[in-house]
Structure 1
């Protein structure tokens, strides 16, 4: 009886163990089936979308992925070739809008790259080749335009010239870098008087104004002698509300203005100001007087001469002997007193000359002209 009871209890225990094992197997089977169908559905979704992406309807509708691409440095799985085509923001190259370039700002009133007081010397040997190497950004004809800002004016710098090649090398050596630092949009014009007749500075300046306008739309004109170098780059070479006298303190005058009405050396007028005074006189043959006539024309037309601070308007002159056929004009004092009567008929409106040639060099434009001869002087007595 006891052995029978023991066998019954053992049978029940084994039955319970078998049921538990079967139950565990069933649970395990269900879990495996759930996991299998879940993974299968994900893989099917990914590959079906990938294949659709290569078809005609790839761009329709948003796509959803099982990866977190919001993490820093997250990239697409390497086993998804062409994944860049599946990005929601990707568009065909032809439909992409190129970024609009930023507008160039106006040049500042006071350029930040100015140096201030400069050391000017004429003892070192100077060649055109050296000056050209120093100024690679200057284009043919002696022109330059800033690339990082938009200048308000276009400036023509006009130099009356004859037999001054030595001086011209130094002028170009110093002025090109100064003008670039000043953010000036400029062109340099050398007005060369042909022949050996009496020199006429003011008439050459009128020629320079006329010929420069044939080359570009200038609205500001700086008239400079070739032997004068500014000693401070804060002396800005552009036009002002009033006619400008730049060279107010030359070393030859002890860095002082020689007299209140002096307007010689380097000056600047806008196109409007220049036409208002009918340009410069054409009848001052030889040295002296024309700058005083110009000063009279300015004041007689209701304008005032503006000047820089005396500490900024300092200039060094290249020492030289007075040019042959540029002797002092004995009639200059009488002519200065008659400016009011002559300025309407003698000026840019009455200019005549013969243009011989225009040659563009790397650092300047050379304009050679014939301007005629002075009228014969009246015989005394």
Structure 2
């Protein structure tokens, strides 16, 4: 009985030892594979880093990037701590969002701006002040300059107005034209060319002065020449330059909204810089009223160009009624001069322009350029 009990006890002890051995073996296997997988992961990272540093050694030297080796035998080092250290040391490849993004280039302005109104109601009975007009146009900058903020215009336009003693007309002109030009998405500047003194008025010479002075103020490539008393009645009459010299004011109320004759080029016209230089600008020797527009028309046709015009319903204008200016009487020599355009246009123009610049002053809605342009030569004595 004693032997039987002893045998059973030994059997139980053996089974227990065997169970412990199996359990120990399983634990060792689990630990082994766990450690093996970690070491494999670390060595693969180590080898990748080493191979990457070798293959990118020349790139690191050229581009200034730095690659790091890690000491895997550091005391108390863990996988998490090593990886955390690596993240701190390896330069980030993510884009730097602290730098301001470069502005996107503006699209070209549309040929037919969507904000145009079409036919406009033009009236001159309301009282107008320059302060009121300035409040109406807060986006116009000093000197009468404006650039559309949302698109890139094809032309940079200088609008030139020959001027003397027309302050009341100028208020209405600015009141109507600034909003029109902004709706047309024009990049423009307004230049008032003020003839000082009381000598005979010379419109065409003042236009030449405006061309020369505007180019000192900006890189213009298009020039619109406008009388201060003419207001367009339709904002679809776009104030920019065209492939041919442009006549804008083709249908004035003064002429019953009709073109007075085929060669008429008066009121409001436009030429590109290239076209202007091709005709040698405008004549300087038309003192007094009349004739210079016909001379300009002759210059255009004699140089192989044609006048372009808008549709009759779009090219309508209202004129501010006024009496004829003093010292702007009709020029008695105008018909003789018109007949001789071919002989005079190469020597009388922008290449022979002389004047004395007295003052340039920039106002909120326009640039005023005051000049002295001389006086007409004495007329030949009849007989």
Shorter-chain TM-score bucket reads 0.7 to 0.9
Please tell me the root mean square deviation across aligned C-alpha atoms, in Å: 4.1
Residues 254-273 of structure 1 mapped to structure 2, 5 A cutoff:
254-273=256-275
What is the aligned counterpart of 1:136 among 135, 138, 152? Answer: 138
Counterpart secondary structure, 1:280: coil
Distance in 2 (CA, whole Å) between partners of 1:97 and 1:211 is 41
Residues 231-284 of structure 1: per-residue CA shift (max 9 Å, x gap): 001000001000000000000101000000000000000111111111101111
Give the superposition deviation at 1:108: 1.1
What is the aligned counterpart of 1:340 among 315, 336, 342? Answer: 342
What is the aligned counterpart of 2:129 among 127, 131, 152? Answer: 127
Counterpart secondary structure, 1:325: coil
Residues 99-118 of structure 1 mapped to structure 2, 5 A cutoff:
99-118=101-120
Q: Determine if the alignment matches structure 1 residue 252 to structure 2 residue 254.
A: yes
Distance in 1 (CA, whole Å) between partners of 2:157 and 2:316 is 21
What's 1:16 paired with?
none
Counterpart secondary structure, 1:363: coil
What's 1:373 paired with?
375
Distance in 1 (CA, whole Å) between partners of 2:315 and 2:173 is 16
Distance in 1 (CA, whole Å) between partners of 2:283 and 2:160 is 16
Distance in 2 (CA, whole Å) between partners of 1:161 and 1:103 is 38
Distance in 2 (CA, whole Å) between partners of 1:104 and 1:347 is 38
Distance in 2 (CA, whole Å) between partners of 1:221 and 1:227 is 18
Residues 214-293 of structure 1 mapped to structure 2, 5 A cutoff:
214-293=216-295
Counterpart secondary structure, 1:168: helix
Give the superposition deviation at 1:89: 8.1
Give the superposition deviation at 1:109: 1.0
Distance in 1 (CA, whole Å) between partners of 2:105 and 2:331 is 53
Greater shift in the superposed pair: 345-354 or 223-232: 345-354
Give the superposition deviation at 1:99: 3.7
Q: Which runs of 5+ in 1 are unaligned?
A: 1-59, 62-87
Residues 126-205 of structure 1 mapped to structure 2, 5 A cutoff:
126-205=128-207
Cα distance 1:349–1:90, how it changes in 2: closer, same or farther (>3 A)? Answer: closer
Counterpart secondary structure, 2:174: helix
What's 1:4 paired with?
none
Distance in 2 (CA, whole Å) between partners of 1:330 and 1:294 is 18
- Give 4+ residue runs of structure 1 displaced > 4 Å after superposition: 88-91
Q: Which runs of 5+ in 2 are unaligned?
A: 1-66, 69-91
Distance in 2 (CA, whole Å) between partners of 1:237 and 1:311 is 16
Cα distance 1:90–1:351, how it changes in 2: closer, same or farther (>3 A)? Answer: closer
Counterpart secondary structure, 2:357: strand
Give the superposition deviation at 1:380: 1.2
Distance in 2 (CA, whole Å) between partners of 1:132 and 1:97 is 38
Give the superposition deviation at 1:379: 1.3
Give the superposition deviation at 1:136: 0.7
Counterpart secondary structure, 2:116: coil
Distance in 2 (CA, whole Å) between partners of 1:337 and 1:345 is 15
Residues 127-178 of structure 1: per-residue CA shift (max 9 Å, x gap): 1101111111111100011110111111100000000000000000000011
Give the superposition deviation at 1:100: 3.9
Distance in 1 (CA, whole Å) between partners of 2:329 and 2:252 is 21
Distance in 2 (CA, whole Å) between partners of 1:152 and 1:100 is 23
Distance in 1 (CA, whole Å) between partners of 2:107 and 2:94 is 34
Q: TM-score, normalised by structure 1?
A: 0.77
Distance in 1 (CA, whole Å) between partners of 2:300 and 2:114 is 33
Distance in 2 (CA, whole Å) between partners of 1:100 and 1:334 is 61
Counterpart secondary structure, 1:305: coil
Q: TM-score, normalised by structure 2?
A: 0.77
Distance in 1 (CA, whole Å) between partners of 2:321 and 2:358 is 30
Distance in 2 (CA, whole Å) between partners of 1:274 and 1:197 is 27
